[in-house]
């Protein structure tokens, strides 16, 4: 495919891709629509049938699974879940947490049940909640203990089992018949008591037998779950649902889509519980969850969700409720009827991750600036500058440069690891000498300035030489139709095209082919369904072999809360980037702090595994198994290691999913026993039983031993670019 790089990872690819489709012959219409437009397109197959409609959000039809008083399935609103963090044996504290979660809006609450004493406490927890007027359904989280699952089924409305470790996690290879014998009594009991089951596969805890066949792939996750589903079906028990959780949103999305695809092939209609496990805390945790959950909600997948945060459980409910509301609002939205009726076949590969990488700008003889730095090869961040950002004296302009992530040295701004790659002027170019000097120095540092073509023309050639002019698709298409080239205003040397999403296919192709832009902004009109319109745009680009880099623009109204902005960015932009669709992002919200918007954009790129600019943390949300104060320890580790971009650190409260979910982490800090920590390098434990009071120090030592440590840079002095050099 000319100018488009294909990348894939064996870590997130599916084993047996071709085999999975061998039994399904495409229809004649599908074969016709799959015909490549050029010989370079033969790598791309039609998107498999994993949802009702790839260009419109249509809820996948499912049966209803009854969880106590809460019905879950496509005929009902998306249910919201969370999980207690208290010691289950502490009945009073656990009851208090469940009540607080229910008061915050939780429809279902999960509680860890790791042994007989916890199972005995569960009956008292259930009875006390009923006595206090709370009938919120409770879910027992079971690992390793079939006998404990049998006991707690008397108390709780739902049992979550992990196929990877339900029978005996110490055995290397469990035979299918032995698993059936261990699982069947629980199935029979759930049927007789009207209980529900969640068959919850975790990427980090697949059994040795599954790993030997499929590796730690989405295919292995699905096959592991299907074994236990077949046991349920053999017993004519159908009050169950699935989950496919991973800490990597790309793996999580692939696994759920494959699960749905295979259920369509089998004629199954079981609901889905969605979640990104070990998402972390704060904005990063919310955005990572929104990326994974949002991508699936846009496909009409998902009937109940949890946002797993390293925070108190009631704080999970607000983002969970907001994501559920986004999913409900998406329903029925998609391409407008005219485009939908054109039936443009889509060719995203939901099995192997393929990133569409646009052709980066090249340098031409005589260029005044180096235009190769307009974009970054691993994903670009653009920032919006308004009049207020460039108003005032030199010190105020210095503050703007710092907010863009610039380092200051000898009176000049320098690009750092998380400096905005380019800036877009909203409105007129500034006329003041101080503001123009700040923009010119940004250009000299390699941070390019883009502005409306008309604004550049009004400012005059001398105002900002070398600026990149922005034109709408229809303007470019009109100019291109009457000339062999697109005339730019004096002083502008390159063109960027803005796509609104309402343009005709003909205009879009003409603007991007004949205009020869350095990039295109997907600045989709607010009334359109962004995810579906963008899929259409990318399919047009693929079919025409257009390799223009694409930057997503997400605009939020002034006053939009930061949590709402993070969730929306994760859903509407991250939901596209998990499919490799996009080369950069610009988040814009008038009145919001410029540094925050830039940092959030970099956080989004890191969440979709494109560009690392800060330490990556994989931290579990805590539960009754956690062997230390997870929030406090995570905060301690973050303070010591938060200056190590490119390093991934896992902080796990126990070993249930820890080593497996640390697949992408460089180092791990895992609770091994009360007061003791096991330290990992990759998946291998290298120091066992480390006392907690020295574990953080020893983690830092490990990072140093493996050559990944650097000292934190000292804080910069206030003297800056313009104030010190004017």
| pLDDT given at position 27 | 32
- For position 173, what pLDDT does the model report? 53
CB 672 within 8 A of CB 692: no
Q: Which of 251-260, 327-336, 337-346, 441-450 has the lowest mean pLDDT?
A: 337-346
pLDDT at residue 724, rounded to an integer: 46
* Segment 272-297 mean pLDDT: 89
Half-sphere exposure at residue 188, Cβ-oriented, CA atoms within 13 angstroms: 7
pLDDT for 123-177, tens place per residue?
Answer: 999 999 999 999 999 999 998 889 999 999 999 999 999 998 887 644 445 578 8
* Mean pLDDT along residues 496-519: 93
Residue environment code for 395-415, b if the CB has 16+ CB neighbours within 10 A, otherwise e: bbbbbbbbbbbbbbeeebbeb
Angle of the 562-569 helix axis to the 317-330 helix axis, nearest 10 = 50
Q: Is 507 helix (H, G, I), strand (E, B) or coil?
A: helix
Look at 64-73, 120-129, 716-725 and tell me which has the smallest mean pLDDT.
Answer: 716-725
Question: What percent of the chain shows pLDDT beyond 70?
Answer: 87
- Mean pLDDT is lowest, of 94-108, 122-136, 468-482, for 468-482
Helix (H, G, I), strand (E, B) or coil at 42: helix
By mean pLDDT, which of 313-317, 320-324, 558-562, 649-653 is the weakest? 649-653
pTM (2 d.p.): 0.89
Q: What percent of the chain has pLDDT over 90?
A: 62
CA angle 53, 57, 61 (to 5 degrees): 75
Are the C-beta atoms of 289 and 274 separated by less than 8 Å? no
Alpha helical stretches, state H, 47-175:
91-104, 116-131, 146-152
| Reported confidence tier of residue 726, pLDDT bands at 50, 70, 90 | very low
Computed over every residue of the chain, the mean pLDDT equals: 86
CA 509 to chain centre: 30
700-709 contacts at long range (C-beta below 8 A, 24 or more positions apart): 700/640, 700/641, 702/667, 703/641, 703/644, 703/647, 703/667, 706/666, 706/667, 706/681, 708/644, 708/646, 708/647, 708/666, 708/667, 709/644
Query: Six-digit token pair at 166?
Result: 């339900």
Which helix (H) or strand (E) segment holds residue 684: the answer is strand 684-691
The pLDDT assigned to 35 comes to: 30
pLDDT, tens digit (0-9, with 9 covering 90-100), for 535-587: 999 999 999 999 999 999 999 999 999 999 999 999 999 999 999 999 999 99
Angle at 142 between CA 179 and CA 173, to 5 degrees: 30
Give the pLDDT of residue 78.
Answer: 97
Mean pLDDT calculated for residue range 429-451: 94
* Averaged pLDDT, 685-701: 90
The C-alpha atoms of residue 158 and residue 548 are separated, in whole angstroms, by 50
Please give the pLDDT value at position 41.
46
| 521, pLDDT greater than 80 | yes
Average pLDDT score over residue span 621-648: 79
Question: Could you report the per-residue pLDDT of 188-243, keeping only the tens digit for each?
Answer: 999 999 999 999 998 888 888 888 889 889 999 999 999 999 999 999 999 999 99
Q: Residue 606: name the closest of 298, 305, 280 by CA.
A: 280
Region 271-276: what's the mean pLDDT?
A: 96
pLDDT at 655: 65
Per-residue model confidence as pLDDT tens digits over 458-471: 999 888 999 999 99
Average pLDDT of the segment spanning 420-442 = 94
pLDDT band at residue 625 under the 50/70/90 scheme: low
Q: What is the pLDDT of residue 630?
A: 74
User: How far are the Cα atoms of 250, 490, 571 from residue 521, in angstroms, in the given order?
Assistant: 24, 22, 18
Q: Lowest mean pLDDT: which of 12-16, 94-98, 658-662?
A: 12-16
Res 76: pLDDT: 97
Question: Looking at residue 13, what is its pLDDT?
Answer: 38
User: Does the pLDDT of residue 668 top 70, yes or no?
Assistant: yes
pLDDT band of residue 57 (cuts 50, 70, 90) is: very high
Distance CA 474, CA 439 (A): 29
Among 414-428, 491-505, 637-651, the least confident range: 637-651
Mean pLDDT of 484-497: 87
Q: What is the pLDDT of residue 17?
A: 32
């Amino acid at each position: 495919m000319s100018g488009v790089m294909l990348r894939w990872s064996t870590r997130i690819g599916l084993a047996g891709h071709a085999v999975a489709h061998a039994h399904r012959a495409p229809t004649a219409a599908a074969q016709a629509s799959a015909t490549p437009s050029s010989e370079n397109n033969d790598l791309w197959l039609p998107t498999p049938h994993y949802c009702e409609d790839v260009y419109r959000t249509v809820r996948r039809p499912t049966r209803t699974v009854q969880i106590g008083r809460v019905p879950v399935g496509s005929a009902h609103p998306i249910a919201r879940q969370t999980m207690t963090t208290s010691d289950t044996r502490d009945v009073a504290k656990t009851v208090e947490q469940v009540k607080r979660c229910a008061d915050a809006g939780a429809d279902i609450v999960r509680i860890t049940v790791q042994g007989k004493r916890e199972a005995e406490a569960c009956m008292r927890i259930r009875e006390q909640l009923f006595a206090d007027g709370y009938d919120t359904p409770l879910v027992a989280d079971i690992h390793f203990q079939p006998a404990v699952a049998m006991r707690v089924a008397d108390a709780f409305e739902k049992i979550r089992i992990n196929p990877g470790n339900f029978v005996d996690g110490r055995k290397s290879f469990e035979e299918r018949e032995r698993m059936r014998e261990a699982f069947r009594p629980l199935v029979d009991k759930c049927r007789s008591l009207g209980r529900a089951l969640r068959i919850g596969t975790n990427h980090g805890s697949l059994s040795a037998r599954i790993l030997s066949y499929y590796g730690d792939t989405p295919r292995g996750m699905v096959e592991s779950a299907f074994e236990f589903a077949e046991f349920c079906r053999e017993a004519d028990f159908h009050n169950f649902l699935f989950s496919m959780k991973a800490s990597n949103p790309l793996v999580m999305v692939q696994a759920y889509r494959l699960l749905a695809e295979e259920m369509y092939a089998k004629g199954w209609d079981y609901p889905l519980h969605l979640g990104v496990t070990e998402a972390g805390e704060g904005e990063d945790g919310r955005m990572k969850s929104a990326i994974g959950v949002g991508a699936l909600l846009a496909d009409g997948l998902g009937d109940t969700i949890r946002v797993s945060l390293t925070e108190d459980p009631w704080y999970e409910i607000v983002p969970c409720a907001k994501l559920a509301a986004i999913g409900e609002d998406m329903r029925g939205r998609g391409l407008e009827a005219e485009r939908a009726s054109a039936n443009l076949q889509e060719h995203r590969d939901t099995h192997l991750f393929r990133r569409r990488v646009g052709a980066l700008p090249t340098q031409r003889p005589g260029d005044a600036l180096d235009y190769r730095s307009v974009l970054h090869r691993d994903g670009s961040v653009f920032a919006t500058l308004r009049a207020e950002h460039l108003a005032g004296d030199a010190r105020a302009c210095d503050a703007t440069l710092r907010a863009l992530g610039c380092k200051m040295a000898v009176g000049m701004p320098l690009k750092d690891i998380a400096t905005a790659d380019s800036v877009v002027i909203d409105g007129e170019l500034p006329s003041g000498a101080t503001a123009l000097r700040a923009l010119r120095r940004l250009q000299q540092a390699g941070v390019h300035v883009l502005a409306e073509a008309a604004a550049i023309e009004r400012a005059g050639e001398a105002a900002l030489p070398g600026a990149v002019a922005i034109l709408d698709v229809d303007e470019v298409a009109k100019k291109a139709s009457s000339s062999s080239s697109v005339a730019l205003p004096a002083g502008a040397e390159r063109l960027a095209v803005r796509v609104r999403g309402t343009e005709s296919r003909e205009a879009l192709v003409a603007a991007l082919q004949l205009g020869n832009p350095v990039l295109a902004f997907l600045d989709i009109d607010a009334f359109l369904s962004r995810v579906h319109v963008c899929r259409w745009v990318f399919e047009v680009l693929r079919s025409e072999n257009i390799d223009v880099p694409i930057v997503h623009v997400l605009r939020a109204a002034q006053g939009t809360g930061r949590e709402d902005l993070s969730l929306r960015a994760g859903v509407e932009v991250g939901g596209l980037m998990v499919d490799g669709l996009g080369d950069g992002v610009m988040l814009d919200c008038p009145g919001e702090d410029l540094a925050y918007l830039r940092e959030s954009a970099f956080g989004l790129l890191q969440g979709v595994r494109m560009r690392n600019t800060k330490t990556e943390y994989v931290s579990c949300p805590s539960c009754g198994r956690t062997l230390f104060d997870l929030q406090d320890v995570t905060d301690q580790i973050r303070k010591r290691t938060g200056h190590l971009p490119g390093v991934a650190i896992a902080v796990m409260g126990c070993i249930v999913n820890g080593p497996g979910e640390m697949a992408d982490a460089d180092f791990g800090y895992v609770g091994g026993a009360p007061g003791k920590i096991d330290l990992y390098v990759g998946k291998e434990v290298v120091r066992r039983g480390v006392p907690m009071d020295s574990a953080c120090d020893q983690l830092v030592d490990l990072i140093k031993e493996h050559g990944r440590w650097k000292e934190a840079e000292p804080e910069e002095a206030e003297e800056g670019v313009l104030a010190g050099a004017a």
